[in-house]
Structure 1
Amino acid sequence: MKHFFLFLYLCFGVLLASQAQTGSIRGTVRAEGKVVPFASVGLKGSSLGASADENGAFVLPKVAPGSYRLVASAVGYQPAERSVTVVAGQPATVSIALAASSSALGEVVVSGTLGEVVRSESAVAVELYTPRYFQKNPSPCLFENLTMVNGVRPQLNCNVCGTGDIHINGLEGPYTMVLIDGMPIVSSLSTVYGLSGIPSSLVERVEVVKGPASTLYGSEAVGGLINVITKNPAKAPRFSADIFGTSHQDLNVDLATAAKVGAASTLLSTNLYGYNQRRDVNQDGFTDVPTQQRVSVFNKWSWQRPEQRAASLAARYYYEDRFGGQLSWRPEFRGGDSIYGESVYTSRYELLGQYQLPVAGQKLLLSGSFNQHRQNSAYGTTRYNATQRVGFGQLTWAKSPSIRHNLLLGAAFRSTWYDDNTPATGSETRNQPDLIHLPGVFAQDEFRLTPDATLLAGLRYDYNPRHGSIVTPRLNYKWGTVDGSRVLRVGVGNGYRVVNLFTEDHAALTGAREVVVPEALRPERSWNANLNYTRFFSTKTGTFSLDGSAFYTYFTNKISPDYDTDPNQIVYRNLDGYAISRGVSLNTDVTFTKPLKLLAGITLMDVFRMERPVGGGARRRVAQLHAPVFSGTYSVSYSFTQLGLSVDYTGQVSGPMRLPVQPNDFRPGRSPWFSLQNLQATKRLGPHLEMYGGVKNLLDFLPRHALLRAFDPFDKTVDQNNPQGYTFDTSYNFAPLQGRRTFLGLRYSL
């Protein structure tokens, strides 16, 4: 027995000695400056692990001395590793940062159904992009950031003033609805310039829906929608700053601060951008890129209410001074015919808010917005002064009458007031501002057929005083496995668009061409069918996500600009025929076990119209302008974890596309294949600070012959030594007129 007690004594002594020689690891898991609650943390190659608490804090006790790899993971984020050394008797303190994953199964989206739903459970395919993804190729505005999204093409429409719009699956900008927090803030007149002033510091995520969404959102959502979700002030970093400049001497500053004031939280975000260099690399006497000075200020408030009822109010002010033209232009030449310039002053403000009514047991959400856009422009000798006011209100009622049904009923009202100095709102005797009221009601039922299958049916009714009643139905079916690793979606929908050309395409009012509308325009209608399949799986080498889609859209009453009949005009009329947009797209997201991540996407599409010539005859096939048959995007990221360094290689590839040319034009009617590639390195300097820099447009690609007869922008000598009858033209564009440039920036988040 005495030997037994001696044995216990020795074992107990050894155990005490071993306990005295251990250490511990404690720290915090964060992502983009915010804590990540309940993340999983463990030591690689061992069974030792723990879960973080609601503040992102974790402790691993009783760790033997040595060097380890600490691994952290959480739903919605990419796993991350961090080296840590444990010393006996001492706690090792670390902070580990996670990056958001665009393919995470647990992400929540709202754009497909107007209600929060886990992305893998949504019957409507919704693509989601976080600011961290756009930071792989930093840009001063959301418009440029969207070049990284497969199937979405920010298109410059004027080589002088730099105006543009967003194409989805080859469809022109007016078919894309841009929303902020689900409300049509950026639309119509403001689409051309308003996208430039959305600070990246206020963006929580960007949701993209490809295909008609008129059943929920009404007119304009024909080709798809882009919904910019702003940050919740209660969860935003206390302070953040993102400042970068380029070798072309432009400077972008994003600042944001968040604070708690009693039961309310507030977020104040400011964006400043300045570029004042008149570069002329192609030596045509014109600025390659317009100069810009702009400021955007955004303030959002949210309130804590019982039962987590929503209550928020936000406001934004935006001002921009933009110029493009001949290098010798000065403000005193504005509107004159001696030195050509396109000068645009833009001023707009926006208000938007949401309030959930305090009705017990019911989810009644009241949303509203108002914006005013003022524009004072001079395109050569053509002056364009316009004001637009848009008011929007919507009441939705969400109810689950049974475990298998999610019902959504809604009523919306949009009022648009528009006035300008063109014949669009006036006559020879008096001015007649345009005022349109568009009321609508909609209903949607999400029916759970089986645990794996869901049917989504929706119907909307709108009344337009000019076009009468408009009905838009849709039907979506989703089948998916319980774990969300495989999802199949099939959708059929109808879209419509009530057109006001001058609010959507006033860039055509440049001094180069005259806008002609020879007939009363009827509203456009479209039918769309799409098939989407998503597959998630894991192997020993990493996690993989594949997302494939096929789409087909048929248009009637389509309104298309005719650049060909008269080189001095753009003629708009309803199509005598039909138009089709069809194609396939594939996205892949691969995260390897090594610190390597790959995102890539390709789109193959055929966009055309079958039209009857103005003089009569058989219908002919005409390819859509600025719609490449092939386009692709990619992003390759590699992290050197021990150095706190990451490298991002991003780019886009575009195949040939039809371009607007003049009769007997010496310039090619189709663009060449081209690729825009970028390289960036990011160095973490601490838990809150990082530095980044790199090169844009590595191959220094520049389109040729962007301007026709740049030496005679007012067509004063068009009849001299001009056998082909060419006139000044600014619309021949297929790629940015910016060559290779370096950039350097700092990013701070607290």
Structure 2
Amino acid sequence: MKQIVLVIALFYLIPYSCYSQNMLIKGKVLFQGEPVEYANVYVKGQGKGAVTDSLGRFTIALNETGTFTFQASMVGFQTSQQVVKLLNSGNSDLVFDLKEMDGGLDEVVVSGTMQEVSKLDSPVPVEVYSANFFRANPTPSVFESLQNVNGVRPQINCNVCNTGDIHINGLEGPYTMVLIDGMPIVSGLATVYGLTGIPQSLIDRIEVVKGPASTLYGSEAVGGLINVITKKPENAPSLSTDFFGTSWGEMNLDLGLRSNWGKNIQVLTGMNAFYYDNPIDNNSDGFTDVTLSKRISVFQKINVQRPGKRLFTLAGRYIYEDRWGGQMNWTTADRGGEEVYGESIYTSRWEAFGTWQLPTTENINFQFSANGHNQNSTYGTTRYNADQYIGFSQLTWTKTAQKHGLLLGLAYRYTYYDDNTVATTKSDSDENAPSIIHLPGAFLQDEIKLTVNQSLLLGVRYDHNSIHGSIFSPRLNYKLSSTDKSMVFRFSAGNGFRVANVFTEDHAALTGAREVIFTEELRPEQSWNVNANLVKKIYTDNGTFIGLDGSAFYTYFTNRIIPDYESNPNQIIYANLDGSAVSKGVSLNLNAAWANGLNMTGGATLMDVSIEEEGIKSRQLLTERFSGVWSVGYEFFRLGLTVDYTGNVYSPMRLPLLGPLDDRPEFSSWYSLQNIQLTKKIGEKWEIYGGVKNLLNFTPPANSIARAFDPFDEGVLFGPNGNVIPTPGNPNALTFDPTYVFAPNQGIRGFLGVRFTVSD
């Protein structure tokens, strides 16, 4: 009987087996009619694929009928897809005709010239980082995301409140301009808070320009600029959600929604929510290792389709955050009190910006932005309340005439700042005196096509600051490329400036009533920069791509304004630096991809940043000599699984000591923050990801906060001039100080997240 059943089973299985073997899908991958070797062809949802041979041919075996999506991909080309319905026969001949792609190699950029141009055609070197680049190491804010960008370092400036800024090539945060869609709305008080709460699901890319860009963007673009480009509503998915949590208790949610308001209005809505309410003190200093935060941000972008395809976009964002750090037993009842130390910051901020193309035959655009920032904060017993309002408008006219590409612009910036400190009080009375600055300007740029492969960009800008007077900033950029654009050389020289803004949040200024002293009429800070950049793209016969991007830079910085809080404890003394500062070095970026699914990006920067005054040269505080970043990813096509390994490494930095008796090390140690992530695709809409951050569990020394046990300096003895006197209980003459910080206090932690995306 068993034999009969076996024969019957074989009778039915043999035809099915033969049928399965006959479901062979064959095809070719071509480019302009020529076969493409080592291209990847993958059947979505089936975990099956193949690599093309020398004739561009592939064969894939399937064991079932139905409708399938075939995808052909190759480094340097756009991914191509075909939907095929398979019935009871195989041997379907599929032909994929690939098109060249940007793939991160030739993106459209706007930051270098204020006009959309190919990255390779831009005479200004611009680094572009897509949203996928940042997905390899998901973070709750753009501020943290930038840790894997070569030559760019997020610097935490306070161990308690965890505020910080962005360094580019060693220059500090005030010299980095941050833009959103080209609008300078992140500055002053918002340097940190403006980089949090941007829904990352709505970010299309981030462009980085290293070196002065004041000719186009004006004040603050001295060290460079970071331009966060949000997605166009027509290109965004219908719905996107991204939620992840960590083993420390952090939770972050991003939402994105595309909708239509009638036939001509497209809307992109986004929301970001972050929640962390789990005090942790792993270094046992009595203070929270990471600031607790509750944040909500709402973003809306509207695109109106107008006659003649003229542009009109309008966007807005609101963010509210409640953050605090301090002693572990702090509660809101202790806010501003002298019993338990805490730093509590309530931030309310709104932003609006947009672009309107005038209804004329000429290409004239009106750009505008406005923002308001309200901050209510306490640092121990010191209260700091501030309001800042910035309005910006800009009119640009572009014209192409023969070999010239002209850009003419008129700009105006209004800045209002007021706080509850003596910084905005008249020196001869107690009358409040908010800071109001008017900054009108004009700029002209001409891109000259010398030959097919050569271009010269000349630019000049004039601004008139209501306090500092006239400011002039020129620039020159030269580009030479090979015929096939596989090699591009650029040379840049220019001037950057930053108008003196002494009214900003500074912990040292909040330690009591001080008289503001100006020893001279402050002059705008200026920098002169030269930069040489070489880009080389290499394609090998086996489908491998290698991209090299190297630069050498030199920036000479004058008129730097440094507030002096030490000469007299009752005064804040402002004066221009009697000397200069220099940032010089070399950097190299590497981008490589293999046909088997392996890709790698990496970078290294070697630099020297120093300050010289009265013949004495010193190394700038909190600036590394060497830094390196990397991101290695591998995609298992058959499993729908991606592995990403990211990290950075920094050489020692000079740290701020409190005096000659401070026994803490003057320099930090080498340190590295490394992360690993696994991402699994489930169908077309779902992704699950998880991994480990800070694999090496690196944290700064436990004594980073000086006298953490005495935050109100009750055991500190001060002399008549305000200096600290050594005592048996304080032999190193220290005061409570949280600024001895160079890396995050957050150790190793796991994370798990899920993404859901509906494209149509």
Fold similarity call, TM over 0.5 = yes
Pairwise CA distance, 1:65 = 7.5
- Classify 1:82/1:674 alpha carbon distance in 2 versus 1 (closer, same or farther; 3 Å): farther
Match for residue 714 of structure 1? 712
Residue in 2 that maps onto 1:743: 751
Partner of 2:626: 630
Question: Aligned runs of 1:154-165 on 2, under 5 Å?
Answer: 154-165=154-165
Q: Give the 3 Å change call, closer, same or farther, for CA 733–516 of structure 1 in structure 2.
A: farther
In 2: Cα distance, 1:562 partner to 1:82 partner: 66
Corresponding residue of 1:526 = 527
Residue 74 (structure 1) shift? 7.5
For the pair 1:418 / 2:414, whether they are aligned, the reply is: no
Q: How does 1:491-506 map to 2 (within 5 A)?
A: 491-503=492-504, 505-506=505-506
Calculate the TM-score normalised by the size of structure 2.
0.86
Q: Distance in 2 between the 1:519 and 1:72 partners?
A: 67
Change (3 A) 1:286 1:234: same
Partner of 1:584 in structure 2? Answer: 586
* Contact in 2 for aligned 1:157/1:507 (Cα 8 Å): no
Aligned to 1:556: 558
CA–CA distance in 1 between the matches of 2:364 and 2:164? 37
Conserved 8 A contact 1:40-1:49: no
Q: 1:40-79 counterparts in 2 under 5 A?
A: 44-45=51-52, 72-73=72-73
Question: The residue matched to 1:712 in structure 2 has which SS?
Answer: coil
AA in 1 matched with 2:541: K
CA distance in 1, matches of 2:88, 2:210: 57
SS in 1 for 2:333: helix
Superposed counterparts of 1:637-676, under 5 Å: 637-663=633-659, 664-676=661-673
Matched residue, 2:187: 187
> Is the contact made by 1:83 and 1:642 (CA closer than 8 Å) also made in structure 2?
no
Deviation per CA, 1:71-109, whole angstroms, max 9, x where unpaired? 523797676999999775369999x9x9x9986333100
- Partner of residue 14, structure 1: none
Partner deviation per Cα, 1:387-436 (whole Å, 9 max, x = no partner): 0110000000000121x110000000000011111122113331111111
Evaluate the alpha carbon distance shift between residue 478 and residue 630 of structure 1 in structure 2; reply closer, same or farther with a 3 A threshold: same
Aligned residue type for 1:680: Q
**1:440 and 2:437 equivalent?**
no
Counterpart for residue 214 of structure 2: 214
Q: Do 2:128 and 2:206's aligned partners in 1 also have CA atoms closer than 8 Å?
A: yes
Amino acid at match of 2:468: H
Q: 1:266/1:111 Cα in 2 relative to 1: closer, same or farther (>3 Å)?
A: same
1:319-344 residue CA offsets vs partner (Å, 9 max, x unmatched): 00010101111112111211111000
Contact 2:443/2:461, CA 8 A, preserved across alignment: yes
CA distance in 2, matches of 1:671, 1:101: 44
1:270 equivalent in alignment to 2:271: yes
**Once the 2 structures are TM-superposed, how far is the Cα of residue 747 of structure 1 from its aligned partner?**
0.9
8 Å CA contact retained: 2:416, 2:435? yes
Deviation at residue 515 of structure 1 after TM alignment: 9.6
Q: Residue 32 of structure 2 corresponds to which residue in structure 1?
A: none
Once residues 342 and 514 of structure 1 are traced to their aligned partners in structure 2, the CA distance between those partners, rounded to angstroms, is: 21
The question of whether the paired residues in 1 share the 8 Å contact of 2:211 and 2:223 is answered with yes
The answer on whether the counterparts of 1:44 and 1:70 sit within 8 Å (CA) in structure 2 is: no
Deviation track 1:458-516 (CA, whole Å, cap 9, x = no partner) reads: 0000001211111100000000123321000000000110021332x434445599897
1:568 is displaced (CA, Å) by 11
1:544-563 Cα distance to aligned partner (Å, 9 max, x none): 00000000000111123568
Give the AA of the match of 2:705: L
Q: 1:73 to 1:163 in 2, by over 3 A?
A: same
The answer to whether the 8 A contact 1:179-1:225 is kept is yes
Secondary structure of 1:120's aligned partner:
coil
State whether residues 269 and 299 of structure 1, in contact with CA within 8 Å, keep that contact through their aligned partners in structure 2. Answer: yes
1:459 paired to 2:467: no
Write out aligned runs for 1:86-105 (5 A). 88-89=88-89, 104-105=104-105
Letter in 1 for 2:392: F
Name the amino acid aligned to 1:549: S
The residue number in structure 2 matching 1:231 is 231
Structure 2 SS opposite 1:144: helix
Which digits, 9 at most, give the CA deviation of each residue in 1:651-673, with x for residues without a partner? 00000111111112111111111
Distance 1:697 1:283 in 2: 19
Q: How far apart are 1:150 and its partner, in Å?
A: 0.4
**Match runs of 1:320-335 below 5 Å:** 320-335=321-336
In the TM superposition, what are the counterparts of 1:223-372 in structure 2 within 5 Å?
Answer: 223-262=223-262, 263-360=264-361, 362-372=362-372
Q: Cα deviations across residues 702-721 of structure 1 (Å, max 9, x unaligned)?
A: 10021000011111111351
Matching residue's letter, 2:405: N
CA distance in 1: counterparts of 2:154 and 2:312, whole angstroms = 33
- Over 3 Å counting, the alpha-carbon distance change for 1:515 and 1:72 in structure 2 is farther
Q: Give the structure 1 partner of residue 5 of structure 2.
A: none
> Residue type of the partner of 1:346?
T
Residue 732 of structure 2 corresponds to residue 724 of structure 1: yes
Residues 571 and 87 of structure 1: CA distance in aligned 2, closer, same or farther (over 3 Å): farther
Q: Quick one: distance in 1 between partners of 2:343 and 2:511?
A: 9
- The structure-2 alpha-carbon separation of the partners of 1:288 and 1:64, relative to structure 1 and needing over 3 Å to count, comes to closer
Quote the Cα distance in structure 1 between the aligned partners of 2:53 and 2:25.
15
What does 1:388-399 correspond to in 2, within 5 Å?
388-399=388-399
8 A contact 2:424–2:503 mirrored in 1: no
Superposition pairs of residues 557-576 of structure 1, within 5 angstroms: 557-560=559-562, 572-576=574-578
Structure 1: which 5+ runs fail to align? Answer: 1-20, 27-38, 51-59, 613-618
Amino acid at match of 2:255: L
Aligned partners of 2:638 and 2:695: how far apart in 1?
28
SS of the aligned residue for 2:575 comes to: strand
1:680 is matched with which residue: 677, 682, 686? 677
Do the aligned partners of 2:74 and 2:595 also contact (CA within 8 Å) in 1?
Answer: no
**CA distance in structure 2 between the partners assigned to 1:92 and 1:380 by the alignment:** 73
- Mapped contact 1:380–1:510 kept (Cα < 8 A): no
CA distance in 2, matches of 1:426, 1:563: 18
